A and B are shown apart, each in its own frame.
Chain A
Amino acid sequence: MLEHLLVGFQQALQWQTLLAMLVGEVVGILVGAAPGLTVTMAVSLMLPATFVLSPVAAMAMLLGVYTGGFMGNSIPAILIKIPGTPSAAATVFDGYALAQKGQAGKALGVSIIASLYGGLFSLICLVLIAPQLARVALQFGSAEVFSLLLFGMSIICSFAQHSLVKGIISGVLGLVLVTVGLDPLLGTQRFTFGHVALTQGVSLIPAMIGIFAVPQVLEDLVAKGSQAAEAFNPKLSALLPSWREIRGLFGTFNRASIIGTIIGIIPGTGGPIATFMAYDYERRVSRDPQRFGHGAIEGVAASAGADNGVTGGALVPMLTLGIPGDPVTAVMLGALTIQGLRPGPLLFEQHAPFVYGLFASLLLANLLAALMTLAAVRFSVQLLRLPKASLGPVVLLLCIVGAYSIDNSYFDVGTMLVFGLLGFVLQRYRFPTVPVVLALVLGPSLETNFRRALVESRGDPTVFVTQPLSLLFLVLAVASVLAPLRSGHKKAP
């Protein structure tokens, strides 16, 4: 393996490969930081540019976009409460709270370090135990994925800050909203009232932009008292947490990276699910869960670590089985095919230099992404120096442009505004908004896998309890619901 790794590094360190990676990183960080633009879209846009490159350089470019996007998405999430991509939604909870306390630099620094740790951890797993991990991925049928997602949904109980009933109502409202559009199995129209625009259903990114950013802008507008701009130290040393702080976060980094990598290898899941699960798990194991949602640095580390942990995990089924773990790896699969490579078990034997070149590129891409995002943070944090009176309208404008740019659709802009108003009303009347977002993220897959499991088992509902993994997740889900009831309602975001 060492020999292969050396050959891999030789390929990854060629100037063409490094240049391609650098271009990918710049695009990835910018796209990740721009509201509304997704990493999948950026990878797709870069795909034609890879046709003229060698296979390793081509993948280095796409991996640059992939890792850069996952690191860059924390910047707007922490600074202006707009998640750059759906998987940065969980970073918003504590990242924005820290920014409001004048610790945006620290939050961004920890998010980058956690992201780097998650990326490297998943890479090590990819290099050392990819075939074993692929076998785990194969254990996940529809019933298991449904139970895993249901367990993910049970996180709602943790977010019910004031009232469990209101928290669950918010989650159900979110699930109701995702039933609008085309039925996931049959493609039949459902609750569309004859409107063509409604057939696409609720677009996730505009809804998330609306529900997070718009209520915050409106609340800031009428907030009592003066809101001073953050005194920000642009020196790199001020961005990085101290060694003592990092050492205290190692447990969080490890837990988040493991969750991110495992979720990443399960096809049909992806970053948003991993980050929510890692965040919730971290809150559960914390000695002081009340801090979560009010500026707990562990919350930022958990979501960022899991987010980038997905990258290596998602490559496992793609390289070993030819099954993409998420939409980005689906595009990468296309890129590999265009380069004349066929992912699968034989790829490691027949094209070992390429595979190890890809591993080396992923390592360099992660390091480069961390350095470049740290550099980008020094400029982006200047945003916080703007007075709130100026920042609010600019954030609203970014929300509109971000929602529009996904599909060039005015319907998405309308969706963003409707969800903004909904978020404002919910927030004012003490309904948590996070369960709505969680339902929007998990809802479609939840229903699809539930019905698919029933179809596959010929209508046998016991399939969810007879499969060991499925049963395990169901038990965890029940325990997750009962825990806050027993502990008399832990406070959460």
Chain B
Amino acid sequence: MIRANLLLGALLALFGGWYLWLTTAAPHRRLPHDPGIMFVPRILACGLILLSVLLILQQIVSRLPRPKEVPPDRLDSREWLQTFGLLGLTSTYAALLPWLGFLLVTPVYLVAALFLSGARRQVSSGVTAVVVTGVIYISFVYFFRVSLPPVPFP
């Protein structure tokens, strides 16, 4: 956990520095007595850098109080594949939605996501995918009047 905290502290400090640098490009337009559009971001950037340094110091200076933290469970290769596979699959699904439409791509996504989540009964997954797609489509499009991405071809 110490190593992870050190790494995260360094990354956050770098991010804070980059954010502070971005605040230097402030437009000159401002209201009378207004501290300007970059005033609050500058305070936040300085605060973030300061806190990141404090996080780093907590790890390396033994005299500073260091909270007891339970390190996260280590993911084995199967769990890595499941977690990031599902995230990747969901991102791909979101990217394909405008091109293929909700009704076409959603059942395929659901079957794949159910498989990744450990559901092994193919017929049951297929039925769940079609039913869930239908229920969500009907509820949102016909009841809430929210248009979902249409199938781009007749």
A residues adjacent to B (C-beta < 8 A): 30-31, 34, 37, 45, 162-166, 168-169, 172-173, 175-176, 179, 183, 185-186, 188, 190-191, 214, 217-218, 221-222, 224, 387-390, 392-394, 396-398, 400-401, 404-405, 408, 410, 413-414, 417, 420-421, 424, 428-430, 447, 450-451, 454-455, 457-459, 489
B25-57 toward A: CB 8 Å interface, digit per residue (1/0)?
001011111110111110011011001101100
Given contacts A163-B69, A191-B22, A450-B40, contact A455 B31 (CB under 8 A): yes
Interface of A is mostly: helix
Interface readout for B72-88 with A: 1 if CB under 8 Å, 0 if not? 11010001001100110
**Minimum Cβ distance to chain A for residue B152 (Å):** 14
Q: Known interface pairs A45-B145, A430-B69. Does A397 touch B132 (Cβ–Cβ under 8 Å)?
A: yes
Q: Mark B96-122, 1 if CB is under 8 A from A, else 0.
A: 011000000010011001101111000
Alpha-carbon gap, A430 to B2, bound state (A): 12
Q: A176-B44, A489-B67 are in contact. Are A394 and B110 (CB under 8 A)?
A: yes
| Alpha-carbon distance between A246 and B114 when the two chains are bound, in angstroms | 40
Which chain A residues border B128 with CB–CB below 8 Å?
390, 394
Chain B residue at smallest Cβ distance from A450:
B40
B138 CB within 8 Å of chain A:
no
Whether A455 touches B34, Cβ cut-off 8 Å, given contacts A397-B136, A430-B70, is yes
Closest residue on chain A to residue B57 by CB atoms: A165
| In the bound complex, CA of A405 to CA of B38 (Å) | 32
Residues A222 and B147 in contact, CB atoms below 8 Å apart: no
B-side contacts of A405, CB under 8 Å:
140, 144, 146, 148
Contact A414 B87, beta carbon cutoff 8 Å: no
B130 within 8 A of A: no
Chain A residues with CB under 8 A of B72 = 428-430
User: Given A175-B44, A176-B48 in contact, is the A410-B98 Cβ separation under 8 Å?
Assistant: yes
Whether a CB of chain A sits under 8 angstroms from the CB of B61 is no
Q: Mark B135-153, 1 if CB is under 8 A from A, else 0.
A: 0100110011111110000
For A396, the closest partner residue in chain B by CB is B90
The answer on a CB contact under 8 Å between B51 and A168 is yes
Select one of A179, A185, A393, A421 contacting B110, CB under 8 A: A393
Q: Is A404's CB under 8 angstroms from B144's CB?
A: no
**Smallest CB separation, A214 vs chain B (Å):** 8
Task: Enumerate chain B residues within 8 angstroms of A185, measured Cβ to Cβ.
Answer: 31, 34, 37
Chain B residue nearest to A427 in the complex (CB): B72
Cβ–Cβ contact A408 & B147, under 8 A: yes
Shortest CB-to-CB span from B125 to chain A, Å, is 8
Inter-chain contact A173/B136, CB cutoff 8 Å: no
> Which single residue of chain A is at the shortest CB-CB distance from B110?
A393
Q: Does B8 contact A (CB under 8 A)?
A: yes
In this complex, the member of A45, A163, A417 whose beta carbon has the largest number of chain B beta carbons within 10 angstroms is: A163
Q: List 9 A-B contacts (CB under 8 A).
A: A30-B144, A163-B69, A168-B51, A190-B41, A218-B87, A221-B79, A394-B132, A430-B72, A459-B33
Asked if B34 and A390 make an inter-chain contact with CB atoms under 8 angstroms apart, the answer reads no
On whether the beta carbons of A451 and B34 are closer than 8 Å, the reply is yes
Contact, CB under 8 Å: A414 / B94:
yes
For residue A459, give the distance in angstroms from its CB to the closest CB of chain B. Answer: 4
Say whether B110 contacts A401, CB under 8 Å: no
